[in-house]
Structure 1
Amino acid sequence: MNKKRMITGMILCIPFLLMIGFLLNRQYADWNTTTKGVEATSLLHATREVQASGKSIKANASIAAIGDILIHDTVYNDAKKQNGYDFTPMFSPIKDMLSAPDFLIANQESTPGGVELGVSSYPLFNSPQEVVKTLQEVGVDAVTTANNHSLDQGEEGLLNAIDYYGEISMPYVGSFKSPEDQSRIRTFNVDGIKFALLSYTYGTNGIPVPEGKEYLVNVIDEQKMIREIQKAKNLDVDLVVMSLHWGNEYQRFPTEEQQRLAKVLTDNGVDIIFGHHPHVLQPIQTYKTSDGREAVVIYSLGNFLSGQKDDFKDIGGMVTVQVEKTMNPAGSKITFPSIGFQPTFVSENHYKNYRIYPLDFARKNGLIAYTEEEMVSHMVNGVPE
């Protein structure tokens, strides 16, 4: 009886299963027809093109420089400690000022050859290397090293200094350890603005550059400089910055030769010149180059830290050039929306307690008679006609 019921049930189920199969097949066919030719799109991966035609994008960076770091015996004796030298207190009053720019350059005039060569002062300087480490700690991003004291301790002192720059990863330019080192253009990218940094000096105080080792120091040679400027520009930089050791010591205005050379160099591609050597401040001048660019020349930034005093030799400062790069489909253009100058004063008490103060602070505290306004006016009013 049970077997008979089972057979009867199977007979009844077969038509039912066939009917379900037919209906499912029909539904699939209908669905496939309605979706044929429709392209599936994932919203998660959809993209949208934005036309930039007519748009411009801007990048900004502040490039700053301070003057001569010239460590006389009174300065390094004041920094002497039981184990080495500590220059940090000298820079403490202006540490915030130095940390403000996006990129800061210092002119390391006295070669830091190290204590093993014996520290020394004028006329043949050799500075403790700790001063460079302090510069780095207070915000200096690169040092320029082509000056009249580059060979005061010969090749050995110069190479000792370069070894130390490498040890602490301080970029340097102007003196070099090999032809390959000299041929490598120093470039920096600051907030999207790329620049090359070059450095030259008028001479080395009569100390001859060793024969066959002209790479040790970059000495001013117009044609050589123009070739290096062009080499730098071929690296697709936005601007070329040059440190120049030139002019007459203790003269507060540039010579005609400085002005002539500045025009030659800016016409050939230099955008900013930071000048050194006179040990006093010389004005800022802006140029319109022969190809229509803007250029800025700071003829001298004076002494930033030294043992010299009086007659403006203890007044220095930091100049800050605001660089703006405007990019659009037609190309890019560099302008200098502002140039600022902050004067400083080197204070000491009987050759002790050396400190670098903002000039305004020094004036208000009776350390100097000159005002900040006088020094800023001297710098920004440019060269007399």
Structure 2
Amino acid sequence: MPYSRVQSKQKAKRKRRWPIVAISALAVALIAAVGVYAAILAGNGDGDASPPAPPVSTSSASASASASSPPDDATASPVESSQPAETPDSAPSSEPDDNGEVDQPDEGAPAETASPSTEEPEATPETGTTNDPGTSAPTGATVTLAFVGDILPASTVGKLIDQYGVDYPFKLAKPLLESADIAAGNLEAPITTRGTPAENKQFVFKGKPAYLAGLKNAGLDVVSLANNHTLDQGWQGLSDTMDALDDIKLKHMGSGADEKEAFEPVYIEHNGLMVAYIGVSNVVPEGSWKAGPDHPGVAETYDTTRAVAAVKKARELADIVVVMVHWGNERADTPKDAQFNVGHTLIDAGADLIIGSHPHVLQGFEAYKGKWIAYSLGNFVFTTKQEYSKTQDTGVLTATCAADGNCRLKFDPMYAKASQPGPMEPEQGKALLARLNKVSYRATVDSNGRITAK
């Protein structure tokens, strides 16, 4: 297995712990010695000297020495106005759609029973920052979170990027993405120039590292790698993807060198509110793709044990907990039973928002115990056909969330033409919102895209 920067970072973190512990212990010993010496001097003085300071506990000194760095500020750039771009005349119109992969059913990827990790999450620059649970957000503070579906910077989309530039796919959606405080999506391809293509798969993707600049420029802040294409080029391709995302400071979750890293949340702070993002997949082509104690891969949720543990840990540290899940049947308008079961389980564990992807089409929303599930946001930037297809119906979901985890939802409908999503015509948008209203559960989607609980 190639030795990647992802693994070297983990090794470096382990090495850094020992000097910190040793220095902390030495500091405690020196402080104690000074205190004893001061007491002896005070005893020989005039009798009015101040008493010696109380001894410093080892745990306090260690905690101070190893405290995590301040959370990153995820403030988005100001909104830019954008004129609709002309669809390139040479954009492909008849290439086969890459959406047609038929995934194995749930029972095709055996569940792996695992006990939840008891280790505290490490706050590192690679995985985000954790907040101090003792600090509180400003009264009335809110954070706006934008979400999009599948992003495929490869295949036909890659050819378009090569021709028109990295910003081409996101040009019309950028103003809406940038208007949110934090924006997230599902990255549906490994980003690498190396790797070994996966066998026995109908579609195997690979995107160039330069393509990631388009996601960053569009205002995306975090992407999930927990999906059925992230290991299309093996562990080498996945580790390259994680390194490339780190290089441009685009946060990621849902995969790793082992299960601890794969299930580790990303923490982003804005306006005094801490938001945790967790990525998991209920679509795994084969068991070897699942991250294990000493095995790289994706965070899976056929068995929800580890996902539930990750949500509970994030709940202790974050004001808002988001889980992005890859699940469901392709081109299905309604969720399957596993989506209901997993979604409800994760909310019961403490999640505030569940954001789904993989079906390549939009599915409805559900209000469940005061929280929200978006069962599928469909494709966002993906291969498209010339003729109308529901796989080209897309949009941006915006959640305005308070410190108590309560969120107000709004969906802005878009249509992707030549792999470039843009706002729908008013009548077309209202028709799409009406369809989403019909397929939602205990929720209403009105003609303006506002989503409310029934």
TM > 0.5 fold call: yes
CA shift at 1:122, angstroms? 5.8
Per-residue CA deviation, residues 163-217 of structure 1 (Å, 9 max, x unaligned), is 1011111100011135563464321112121121101011332372387644421
Pair 1:322 & 2:400 matched: yes
Q: Which consecutive segments of 4 or more residues in structure 1 shift more than 4 A?
A: 116-122, 210-213
SS in 1 for 2:389: coil
Could you tell me which residue of structure 2 aligns to residue 154 of structure 1? Answer: 234
**TM-score when scaled to structure 1?**
0.72
> What is the Cα-based RMSD across aligned positions, in Å?
2.5
Q: Compared with structure 1, are the counterparts of its residues 208 and 119 closer, same or farther at alpha carbon in structure 2 (3 Å cutoff)? A: closer
Task: Find the aligned partners of 1:371 and 1:112 in 2 and give their Cα distance.
Answer: 34
Q: Which amino acid aligns with 1:230?
A: K
CA shift at 1:284, angstroms? 1.3
Could you tell me which residue of structure 2 aligns to residue 104 of structure 1? Answer: 183
> Would the aligned equivalents of 2:195 and 2:234 in 1 still touch at CA under 8 Å?
no
CA shift at 1:90, angstroms? 2.3
Alignment of 1:110-121 (within 5 A): 110-113=189-192, 115-117=193-195
Task: Find the aligned partners of 1:384 and 1:58 in 2 and give their Cα distance.
Answer: 29
SS in 1 for 2:177: helix
Pair 1:278 & 2:359 matched: yes
> Would the aligned equivalents of 2:308 and 2:346 in 1 still touch at CA under 8 Å?
yes
Give the gaps of 5 or more residues in structure 2: 1-137, 443-454
Could you tell me which residue of structure 1 aligns to residue 421 of structure 2? Answer: 356
Q: Compared with structure 1, are the counterparts of its residues 255 and 203 closer, same or farther at alpha carbon in structure 2 (3 Å cutoff)? A: closer
> Would the aligned equivalents of 1:285 and 1:382 in 2 still touch at CA under 8 Å?
no
Pair 1:334 & 2:391 matched: no
Could you tell me which residue of structure 1 aligns to residue 87 of structure 2? Answer: none
Larger Rg: 1
Q: Compared with structure 1, are the counterparts of its residues 126 and 213 closer, same or farther at alpha carbon in structure 2 (3 Å cutoff)? A: farther
Could you tell me which residue of structure 1 aligns to residue 64 of structure 2? Answer: none
Q: Which amino acid aligns with 1:322?
A: T
Could you tell me which residue of structure 2 aligns to residue 259 of structure 1? Answer: 340
CA shift at 1:89, angstroms? 2.0
CA shift at 1:71, angstroms? 3.8
Task: Find the aligned partners of 2:294 and 2:333 in 1 and give their Cα distance.
Answer: 34
SS in 1 for 2:397: strand
Q: Compared with structure 1, are the counterparts of its residues 146 and 183 closer, same or farther at alpha carbon in structure 2 (3 Å cutoff)? A: closer
Per-residue CA deviation, residues 23-61 of structure 1 (Å, 9 max, x unaligned), is xxxxxxxxxxxxxxxxxxxxxxxxxxxxxxxxx921111
Pair 1:298 & 2:374 matched: yes
Pair 1:63 & 2:131 matched: no
Task: Find the aligned partners of 2:205 and 2:175 in 1 and give their Cα distance.
Answer: 29
Pair 1:377 & 2:429 matched: no
Task: Find the aligned partners of 2:352 and 2:244 in 1 and give their Cα distance.
Answer: 30
Alignment of 1:197-208 (within 5 A): 197-206=277-286, 208=288
Give the gaps of 5 or more residues in structure 1: 1-55, 289-293, 326-332, 349-353, 364-369
Task: Find the aligned partners of 1:181 and 1:226 in 2 and give their Cα distance.
Answer: 15
SS in 2 for 1:149: coil
**TM-score when scaled to structure 2?**
0.61
SS in 2 for 1:334: coil
How many residues are matched? Answer: 299
Q: Compared with structure 1, are the counterparts of its residues 179 and 285 closer, same or farther at alpha carbon in structure 2 (3 Å cutoff)? A: closer
> Would the aligned equivalents of 1:118 and 1:126 in 2 still touch at CA under 8 Å?
no
Q: Which amino acid aligns with 2:380?
A: F
CA shift at 1:93, angstroms? 1.7
> Would the aligned equivalents of 1:124 and 1:149 in 2 still touch at CA under 8 Å?
yes
Per-residue CA deviation, residues 125-152 of structure 1 (Å, 9 max, x unaligned), is 1112233211111100111110011211
Alignment of 1:32-181 (within 5 A): 57-81=139-163, 86-113=165-192, 115-117=193-195, 123-178=203-258, 181=261
